[in-house]
Homo-oligomer: A and B are copies of this chain.
């Protein structure tokens, strides 16, 4: 025999079919389905729909039913792959952050000159932000809607991306192309500059093309720090 009875449909009965998660790392999202390929596929399907809808309408005004419909699955299915709505948001936000973390390094491959690398990183970051403009806003709107321990995962993701920029800056400094500077804070300025393309697009979008925006930005956030050595090259111009 078991433990005692429980009441209420919404109170998950003890030890029932509940997702096992929360015992693992908070980022681990357990699924009720076992086939890993299927889990991968369905999760992707649902999270993509969620990113679309959350981006367009926000987290609270998007319903699970809408997400299911957009993903082309039934309502119940969402709950086979996600513990709750919060869980969907978490993966949606991680998807966005991941795309930053994946794509910037990819674009840096083969780029040698430190200054060029820095500028490429910024340019790429802005381009991704431009492509995922609403999704970038979403990270600002909805991260606080996550349960506290999950929020940490989002922050970790952001930190990892920031480090890419920071590393580019450090390389420039070490090679003598950029004068000594608070690298971390400069990196934050660069990141904010990229995010601003989404956050303030209502103001900036009308006045600059993405290219112009990046070019003018580099003039403010990179050029002033160049040493004579750094200035020697035309790296700043694409």
Q: Considering the chains assembled together, what is the distance between the CA atoms of A140 and B4 in angstroms?
A: 16
Give the CA-CA distance A42 to B116 in the complex, in Å: 57
CA distance A199 to B62 in the complex (A): 24
Given contacts A2-B52, A17-B63, A188-B204, contact A145 B219 (CB under 8 A): no
Who on chain B is nearest to A150 by CB?
B7
Q: A1-B52, A141-B141, A203-B159 are in contact. Are A57 and B6 (CB under 8 A)?
A: yes
Asked whether A2 and B56 contact (CB < 8 A) given A63-B16, A140-B140, A193-B192, the answer is: yes
**Interface residues in A, total, Cβ within 8 A:** 68
* A-B pairs with beta carbons under 8 Å apart, 21 shown: A1-B52, A1-B134, A4-B144, A5-B144, A5-B145, A7-B60, A7-B85, A7-B147, A13-B57, A13-B62, A17-B65, A17-B69, A60-B60, A141-B141, A155-B202, A159-B203, A182-B216, A182-B219, A185-B216, A192-B199, A224-B224
* B1–A140 touching, CB < 8 Å: no
0/1 per residue, A123-165, Cβ < 8 Å to B? 0000000000010010011101111100000010011001000
Residues of A that sit less than 8 Å from B by CB = 1-8, 10, 13, 16-17, 52-53, 55-63, 65-66, 69, 84-86, 89, 134, 137, 140-142, 144-148, 155, 158-159, 162, 181-182, 184-186, 188-189, 192-193, 195-196, 199-200, 202-204, 207, 216-217, 219-221, 224-225
Minimum C-beta distance from A114 to chain B (A): 19
How many copies make up the complex?
4
Residues of B within 8 A of A220 (CB): 181-182, 185-186, 189
**Chain B residue with minimal CB distance to A181?**
B220
A47 to chain B, nearest CB (A): 15
Contacts of A4 in B (CB 8 A): 56-57, 144, 148
